[in-house]
């Protein structure tokens, strides 16, 4: 059975479905999805009467706590985009289809936070509202499925661990006509990484109705005036990071390393003098470091022995390490070590930049 159906997950902010707690193991369930709504399906314990939870974070604006200042922290970034829609239309006059992307904090009073940074009560969302003519929604939905697939490739996730889960009508948010959850096989189980939803014209229409401001779009070619519909890819920063780390983490006999796609590695390279107590080596290494740093994110390390320095760069996923040794002082060559194979090559100092440019691309 799909975990989400019977065990409580956040599933969209707002009032949750009624949930019952197990008095013994403290897990929380949707009783309407259980064979026996009085008995815990995990430990057989007794379940409480169902209760509703509000997953929106409540607060009060202003110095006096009262109904007039009652407000809620946003549970998704999407609405900011709909609020900006008119500004964009009026100042840039974009033609459909076009997308607006925003990144920012979202807050949900999650019932069961956990699994490291997978589910937290404060998190960062990256959302795109892609405005379209409603008659073309299927075409643009397919387009976004492909774009998401391309993105997953870029961040290096294994295709075999990704699932596109078509959400049934009864499980979808009320405003959505089609939703696909993009799930990833995390070490703790398969769960939602991103969402992709066709939200119809629900949001703009509702903002327009409640504010009295016309949010329709005028198509100058067809002379049609209508409220655009949206396709929304919705992505969590923390879940992206967690999936990338899970995918990249590698353990070998004598080392642990992060096999990050090169584009995601925080440092592309690191420069070391073989020995920190030989001023000539340090001086030469500093020279190399300064020249490489101008082109690539580059770390400097002169602590401990060279082996430890390699391993500490491996742990943060640095693809190439450059070492300045005694031979460098004689012939202007350095060793360059590959993170994944641990193989070392000797190259000329003046070839370092082109070597990195070629191998990191
Ligand atoms: P779930 O079913 O896991 O609670 P959801 O369906 O409620 O997720 P959406 O409302 O579709 O999530 O939110 C879009 C994206 O925001 C999710 O795919 C996820 O990447 C991220 N996200 C949602 N809730 C959280 C959270 N509590 N902590 C971290 N990221 C979250």
Q: Do residues 285 and 301 lie in contact, with contact meaning Cβ atoms separated by under 8 Å?
A: no
* Residue written as token pair 């239309």: 89
Q: Is the domain 262-359 a CATH 3.90.1170.50 member?
A: no
Does the beta carbon of 310 sit less than 6 angstroms from any atom of ligand 1?
no
User: From atom 24 of ligand 1, which residue's Cα is the shortest distance away?
Assistant: 119
Q: Please give the structure tokens belonging to residue 27.
A: 């897990």
User: From atom 14 of ligand 1, which residue's Cα is the shortest distance away?
Assistant: 234
Rg (C-alpha) for the chain, rounded Å, is: 27
- pTM score: 0.88
Domain 74-247: assigned CATH number: 3.30.930.10
Q: From the alpha carbon of 110, which atom of ligand 1 is closest?
A: 27
Pair type for strands 269-273 and 298-300: parallel
> Going along the chain, which residue ranges are E strands?
20-21, 28-29, 58-60, 70-72, 98-107, 122-132, 162-166, 178-186, 189-200, 217-219, 224-226, 229-236, 249-251, 256-258, 269-273, 298-300, 320-324, 333-338, 344-348
The residue ranges of every structural domain in the chain are 74-247, 262-359
Q: Do residues 289 and 298 lie in contact, with contact meaning Cβ atoms separated by under 8 Å?
A: yes
125, 178, 237, best to mutate for ligand 1 pocket (most atoms within 8 Å of CB):
125
User: What's the rounded Cα separation, in Å, for the pair 179 and 173?
Assistant: 8
Does the beta carbon of 120 sit less than 6 angstroms from any atom of ligand 1?
yes
Does the beta carbon of 183 sit less than 6 angstroms from any atom of ligand 1?
no
User: 3-state DSSP call for residue 88?
Assistant: helix
- Count of Cβ atoms closer than 10 Å to residue 330 Cβ: 8
Q: Give pLDDT tens digits for 292-309.
A: 999 999 999 999 999 999
The pLDDT of residue 114? 92
Q: Give pLDDT tens digits for 79-136.
A: 999 999 999 999 999 999 999 999 999 999 998 899 999 999 999 999 999 999 999 9
Best CA proximity match to 96, nearest among 227, 219, 223? 219
Q: Give pLDDT tens digits for 141-170.
A: 999 999 999 999 999 999 999 999 999 998
């Amino acid at each position: 059975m799909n975990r989400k159906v019977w065990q409580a997950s956040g599933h969209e902010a707002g009032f949750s479905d009624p949930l019952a707690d197990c008095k013994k193991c403290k897990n929380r369930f949707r009783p309407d999805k259980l064979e026996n709504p009085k008995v815990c399906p995990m430990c057989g314990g007794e379940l409480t009467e169902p209760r509703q939870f509000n997953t929106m974070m409540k607060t009060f604006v202003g110095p006096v706590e009262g109904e007039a200042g009652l407000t809620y922290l946003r549970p998704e970034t999407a609405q900011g985009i709909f609020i900006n829609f008119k500004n964009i239309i009026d100042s840039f006059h974009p033609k459909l289809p076009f997308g607006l992307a925003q990144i920012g904090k979202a807050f949900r009073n999650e019932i069961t936070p956990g699994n490291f940074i997978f589910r937290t009560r404060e998190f960062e969302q990256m959302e795109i509202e892609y405005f379209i003519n409603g008659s073309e929604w299927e075409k643009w939905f397919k387009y976004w499925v492909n774009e998401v697939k391309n993105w997953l490739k870029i961040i290096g996730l294994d295709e075999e661990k990704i699932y596109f889960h078509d959400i049934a009508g009864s499980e979808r948010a009320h405003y959505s006509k089609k939703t696909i959850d993009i799930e990833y096989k995390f070490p703790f189980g398969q769960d939602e990484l991103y969402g992709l939803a066709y939200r119809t014209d629900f949001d703009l229409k509702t903002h327009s109705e409640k504010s009295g401001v016309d949010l329709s779009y005028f198509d100058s070619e067809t002379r049609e005036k209508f409220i655009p519909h949206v396709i929304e890819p919705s992505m969590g920063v923390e879940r992206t990071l967690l999936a990338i780390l899970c995918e990249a983490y590698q353990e070998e006999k004598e080392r642990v390393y992060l096999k990050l796609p090169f584009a995601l590695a925080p440092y592309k390279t690191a420069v070391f003098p073989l020995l920190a107590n030989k001023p000539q080596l340090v001086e030469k290494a500093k020279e190399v470091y300064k020249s490489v740093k101008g082109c690539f994110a580059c770390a400097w390390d002169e602590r401990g022995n060279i082996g430890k320095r390699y391993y500490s760069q491996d742990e943060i996923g640095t693809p190439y390490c450059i070492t300045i040794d005694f031979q460098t002082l004689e012939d202007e060559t350095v060793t360059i070590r590959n993170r994944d194979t641990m193989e070392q090559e000797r190259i000329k100092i003046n070839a370092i930049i082109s070597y990195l440019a070629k191998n990191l691309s």
